[in-house]
Amino acid sequence: MSRYIPYKYYHWGPYLSSFKVEEPELQAIEKLFNKEKDNSYRSSLAGHVVNEFGIDKDKCFEILAPYIESYCMGYVKYTGLKLCNKLEVTSCWVNYMVKNEFNPPHAHEADLSFVLYTQVPKDLIEENKKFICIDHPKGKLGGAGPSGIEFISSGKGLCAHTFFPEVGDLFIFPADLLHWVYPFRESEGERISVSGNLNVIW
């Protein structure tokens, strides 16, 4: 019997799901990190981030497989269609984002993508709460503030969902879904995220 993974999804067009990854799996993912210079992944990515490094894609996929399987089951419920016979992971990397760095609007060259957050500095949480704009009330965490991630769909008129990711948050989404990450300006430390791409196989 497959392990049940609770998830959320969003009524707006593309099938975007979010999960909360458990601590043992976060620790297993972190053991894959390798910041050696010859492991740099910058030339393959769109981010304005200095420290981006490849990690073992097969081991990462093995750890996250229950969540990816849950995404596939949720896709059937959401669309009424089977997503694939199986998925193949094609790439996986880790981003160490510091203040003033950001990811511009971009999509990925694959069928599915994911992003998992393994470290969020406490100062960054407070910076986000202090931020004020029309879409971000002061005192609350919000995706329109520093370090928020925004997903943008143009399927039925332009529509967006924004999130302030916390430790353990995992998003799985179609790879061609446009997304980007707001910079943060004040907080020290690294906001660490792991991303990867998968292809559908029939």
- For every one of its 202 residues, what pLDDT tens digit does the chain have, with 9 covering 90 and above? 467 788 888 878 899 999 999 999 999 999 999 998 889 999 999 999 999 999 999 999 999 999 999 999 999 999 999 999 999 999 999 999 999 999 999 999 999 999 999 999 999 999 999 999 888 878 899 999 999 999 998 766 678 899 999 999 999 999 999 999 999 999 999 999 999 999 999 9
Q: How many CB atoms lie within 10 A of CB 156?
A: 8
Enumerate the H helices of the chain as residue ranges: 23-30, 57-79, 122-130
**Pairing assessment for the beta strands 191-201 and 51-54 based on DSSP bridges:** unpaired
| CA 61 to chain CA mean position, Å | 14
Please give the domain boundaries of the chain with CATH numbers for all domains. 14-201 (2.60.120.620)
CA distances from 89 to 117, 192, 196 (A): 18, 20, 7
